[in-house]
Every structure is written in C-alpha cells, then in structure tokens.
A and B are shown apart, each in its own frame.
Chain A
Amino acid sequence: MSTVARKKSLIWDYLTTVDHKKIAILYLIAGGFFFLVGGLEALFIRIQLAKPNNDFLVGGLYNQVLTMHGTTMIFFAAMPLVFAMMNAVVPIQIGARDVAFPFLNALGFWLFFFGGVFLNCSWFLGGAPDAGWTSYASLSLESPGHGIDFYVLGLQISGFGTLIGGINFLVTIINMRAPGMTYMRMPMFTWATFVTSALILFAFPPLTVGLIFMMMDRLFGGNFYHPAAGGNTIIWEHLFWIFGHPEVYILVLPAFGIFSEIFATFSRKRLFGYSSMVFATVLIGFLGFMVWAHHMFTVGMGPIANAIFAVATMAIAVPTGIKIFNWLFTMWGGNIRFTTPMMYAVAFIPSFVMGGVTGVMNAAAAADYQYHDSYFVVAHFHYVIVGGVVFALLAGAHYWWPKMFGKMLNETLGKITFWLFFIGFHLTFFIQHFLGLMGMPRRVFTYLPGQGFETGNMISTVGAFFMAAATIVLLINVIVTSVKGQKAEADAWGDGRTLEWAVASPPPEYNFAQTPLVRGLDAYWIEKMEGKKGLTPAEPLGDIHMPNSSILPFVISLGLFIAAFGFMYRTEASWGLAVGIIGLLITLGSMFLRSVIDDHGFHIHKEEVLEAEKGVKA
C-alpha cells in the first residue's frame, strides 16, 4: 500500500480512486443496488399480474414501473455488473498493473452512476418514463410530463460512460498485455471483453444519435420523429435496434467469457476448442450488427427484408452452438467440482439453449407475427438474459468474490441461493411461453378472468418470489462473509488457471510486483504444473509508477447531471437555462483543469514493494 492511499478517509478514497480494482467494487455496489431496485419493480409487476382484474398497480403507474424495470435492468444493473467483472479481472488476467486510462475508467463509472441516479429521480419529480425500455417514438413523443426526458438524458449521460469504458478496455487489451501474452493466449474472459468493447464502440453511437434526435424533438422543438411535421417514427426503431441487438451481445458475450473460465477451472481441464471459441466470439460480434431488423418484422418492411433478416438471425445460432458444444466437451472427462459458480455454469447450458431455441423460433418472420408482443417474447428474452447474463453475473460474483474482497463467500448459502434462483427462474418464465402462445399480450397491466391465464400467471408470480428469496440469501451471505468470512488464499479455489489467481486476494494496488512472463494459455496453470510457486518475472524488481487519484471524474459527471436538470426545465422554470449552463461550465471547467494540470503520478518504491510482498507471503 502506498503511503498516499493510507491517509485518506474511505469515502474520499472511493470518490477519487482511479484503481481498476476499486472501480470494480464501485460498479458492483452501484450495479447491485440498481439490480435490487429493478428486482423490486419486477416484483410489483408480478404482484399486479398474479390474478385477473387486480388493482395493485394500474394504468399509467404500471407502465412506469414496467419501463423502469426494463431500463434499469439492462442499462443500470446488467451493464455495470458486467463492467464490475471486467474491471476486477481483465487487467490482472493480461498481467497489467492497471487499465490504459485509469482516469477515464473512473470517469466512465461516474457518468454511468449519475445517469442512473438522474433516471431514478423521475420517481420523485412527476413520474417515471412510461414508453417501455425501447421507448418507441410513437409512444414517447406523446408521453406527457418529463418521464421520457429523464430517460433520454439519463441514458445519454450513462451512455457516454459506457462508451468511454469500452474504448478504455480496447486500448488496455491491445496495449497493456504482459510479455508473452499473445492474442491467442488471452483467457476467454479477456477475449469476450475485447469483442464486447468493440461492440460497444460501434453500437453506442447509433443510440447516442437516436437519443439526440429524441432530445431535440422533446426539448428543443425538433421534428425528426414527428410524422405530422415530416419526421418518421420508424427511424427511432431502427436506430434503437441497430444499437439494441448488439447490446444483447454486449451483455451475453462477457457472460460466455465468465462461464468459459468457470468450466475450465472446475473441470480442471483446458477449455475445449479454445481457438474455435475465439472465432465464434468474434463471429457472433460481427453478425450481431446484421440482424437488428428482426425486432421489427411486424413494422411492415416487406417480405424481402423480413426474409433476409430472418436468415441472418438464424445464422447466429451456429457460432452460439459451437460454444455450447465446447463447454460440454470441456466438462467431458474432466475432474468436475460442483462449487457454487460451477452449479450456475451447468444450469446455464440448458437454460440458455432454451432461450436460443425460442430465439430461432422468433427469427422465423412469418411465425413471429404470432409471437411478437406476446408473452412468448417475454419468455424468450428472459431465458437468454436471466438464464445467460444474470446466471453468469451471479456465478462470476461468487467465483471472483475472494479475489475482489479477500474472503470466500459461504458455499452452503451460495448453493441455497443457486437453487432458489434456479427454481424461481424456471417457474417464472417457463410458463410464460405458453401464456404467450395462448395469446396473452405483453405490456398490459391486467387481463380478464376466464381466458385461461389465471394459473399460469399465478405460477409465474410465485416463481418471482423464489428469486427474491434467493437475492435475500445472497445479501445475507455477503454480510455474513464480510463479518466473519474465511480469509481467501491467492489461488482461492485451488484450481486457478489464469493470472488473477497468482496474485494475492485482494491484489496489491500495483497488481504485480514484477510484470510476469506469459508462457502459454492458462499461464498460471503452466507454472503450477512445473512445480513453481509463483510466476516467471519478465523484469527486475523496481520502482512502480502509479497514477494519482482525482476528484475530477466525479465533478465532470456531476456537472452533466446538473446541466440535464437545467435543460429539462428550461422552458417552464426561469432558472432552467442558467442551471443548464452552470452545469456545462462545471463539466467543461473540470475538463479544462484536467488538461492544464500536469499530473505525473507517483512512484511506489522498490523497498515498499518488497515489504508489502513479504507481508503477503508470510
């Protein structure tokens, strides 16, 4: 630990940190919090739908809760939790001391955070957005109040953060790999992060453009989407889905990466078909951009467009299938340990395959006229997103918890969480396939008795409570662990293969006292198999250069947060414009400060490093 870091208070330390490991914890806490909020909204939805003609949450309020559930879960729970895993692990997996741009890393987090806070302020300021997480322009332009404005500005701010985060990881993986860490020796999770970051780079700009158009239309008298004024509402749908389909892969590719690590570790085998896994990941990323219109089969694009996008969509099932088989073959003949992360991984395969199969069903354009906007689609995307992404995040959290916090989560509680969640998940969503096929439409707040929907909806609601119970057990586990958890070893599971398991849990500020020399795939495993304790160093022990922490990322983001309020109330409050400009000045001023202040960082001296390392070994 450096002398500088030791003197600060905990809160100030986290507000100003640029250390990827602390930023990972920030993402985990903030994303976890939004996951609880989104989960609570989901429970409200399911309570309302538990029985016909219910009046727990009706009309406009239901629409708000529904919209906020989807938006929160995708943008403010799943995304940041994915970033939490990437920040916690990727720099260490490639043998780096930090990301390429530590300052930008912090900026990315704070932009996401203030975007999420801004969106949720809508609850207290006249109502949340109510046009669905897809916010189709035909609905959102007509929506009264400021709900949609919160959506547009909140997503815009957090979107900048995501874009910054994506670029940062691209540069990190390209430039910061340790000697010997060639592309084809990178762990699968690092590969997934790499491709995901490329998807972020190309997918977020269309969303940004779409949001700017919508902001113009809603706040500044524009008419991009107003049919009456010569605009076209369909443009939003295209822009949204050109972003939106890659977005689902932005979420699920890291999930694939997490599971690849877990399968290999707990089968005590090298990942089967590593190079085909890399190939499949890249191919999925590429194809992900060619299929957006499968969300718009019923818009009326015509049979040729529908046919072409249907075929392109089905093609994605091929690389996905390659991955599924590789995971199965990784387990085949392996020495399998059923730890909590491994249970999620094993459960993921059938769950995700079901989501993939219904995906291909949806992709058959003619059939999709039946499925579209029914509960069948709701079942499909929850099977891929919960069965894929959420399972992976829970698995990854258990798997890397000792690395992030230095303590093992309790395995018994972990398995209870798993079973409650697994059962609850299938209870909730399996039956929704049939509700959809029976004709229950999506995004309606109630249904009448006697249509055959009662039993299915009741089962679905019961399942949701199982998942809530699972989450509570997980929280108890976290608390119990932090109070009296068992201290984790460096190689916390005993079977670690990749570099992160070679450094202490939690790792020192500088990750590696000496940059390691990577001699193959599963670099740490290779060293262990040769009977070595640690990694082969690639450099002599010396002073380590570290970046200084800074409050500026926080202030830059805060400025945009303030500006968003100002511009939103610009037309109805006299202070609006002034506050908007002040907010922008805060942002631009702190960016100016960042440019003119020369910040050379500091050095951790060799003696300090030696002492810290001794403390760990002892």
Chain B
Amino acid sequence: MANQTNTGNPHVDLAYRRKKNAEEMKHQVISFVLMIALTLIAFFAVGYNEFSHWFSVPFILLLAIVQVAFQLYYFMHMSHKGHELPSLFIYGGVLVAFVTVWAFMTVVWW
C-alpha cells in the first residue's frame, strides 16, 4: 500500500511502521467511539419528545453525513495517499446526485 514506505533499512522501517500503526489504531478507536456516540445521539433525538421533526430529521441527516465521512476517511483509509481517483469518483457521484435532487426540490416539484 501507499503508506508503507521502504527505506531499505529494516530497523527504521519497523520502528516507523510501529509508530504509524499505533497512531492509526488510535484514530480508529477514537472514531469508533465517536460513531457510537453519534448513533446514540441520533436515537436520543428521535426518542426525546421536546424536539420537533423539523429539527430531528435534518439533525439526523447531518449526523449521517459525519458518520459517512468517518467511515470513508478513517475506516476505509481515504485519508491516505493514493486515493485521489476514488475521491474524484465519490465526489463526482455526490455532485451529480446532489444536482439531481436539488433540481427536483427547486424546479421540478415545487
């Protein structure tokens, strides 16, 4: 993979990779905890009667977007180098889908 550099020196490599992996692991654990927290907040937003739907629906959508970002960038390593094309395609698809939905919301149906 793109993140495994190779200096030719096994010792440096090993130490470097250890450190890298530990850091990676920390990120994963943090984002995992955050994701669980976000899920709980989502449940709470629905369960709590004081919030109107006009608040909780957009709010949950926002949480969903954050979750997707975590998923892609921390669990699926999109933050690493060598993911330019997947990003291009994902954002291209998001853009096309967004414009389509936007067209429906603004000119086609309302």
- A residues contacting B by CB (< 8 A) are 170, 174, 198, 201-202, 238, 242, 286, 289-290, 293, 301-302, 304-305, 308
Contacts and interface: CB of A to CB of B under 8 A. Distances in A.
Interface of B: 85, 89, 92-93, 96, 99-100, 103-104, 107-108
B100 A305 contact: no
Contacts of A198: 89, 92
Given A174-B85, A202-B93, A242 B100 contact: yes
17 contacts: A170-B89, A174-B85, A198-B89, A198-B92, A202-B92, A202-B93, A202-B96, A238-B104, A238-B108, A242-B100, A289-B99, A289-B100, A290-B99, A293-B103, A301-B107, A301-B108, A308-B103
Ranked nearest first, the 10 interchain pairs of A and B with the lowest CB-CB distance are: A305-B107, A289-B96, A305-B108, A304-B107, A301-B108, A308-B107, A174-B85, A202-B93, A202-B96, A290-B99
Nearest to A242: B100
Given A174-B85, A242-B100, A293 B108 contact: yes
A201 B93 CA distance: 9
B85 to A, nearest CB: 6
Contacts of B108: 238, 293, 301, 305
A138 B104 CA distance: 21
Contacts of B104: 238
A290 B97 CA distance: 10
Given A202-B93, A304-B107, 11 more contacts: A170-B89, A174-B85, A202-B96, A238-B104, A238-B108, A286-B96, A289-B96, A289-B100, A290-B99, A302-B107, A308-B107
Nearest to A206: B100
A35 B11 CA distance: 64
Contacts of B89: 170, 198, 201
A314 B109 CA distance: 22
A229 to B, nearest CB: 20
Nearest to A312: B103
A447 B55 CA distance: 59
Contacts of A308: 103, 107
B38 to A, nearest CB: 27
A202 B99 CA distance: 13
A231 to B, nearest CB: 15
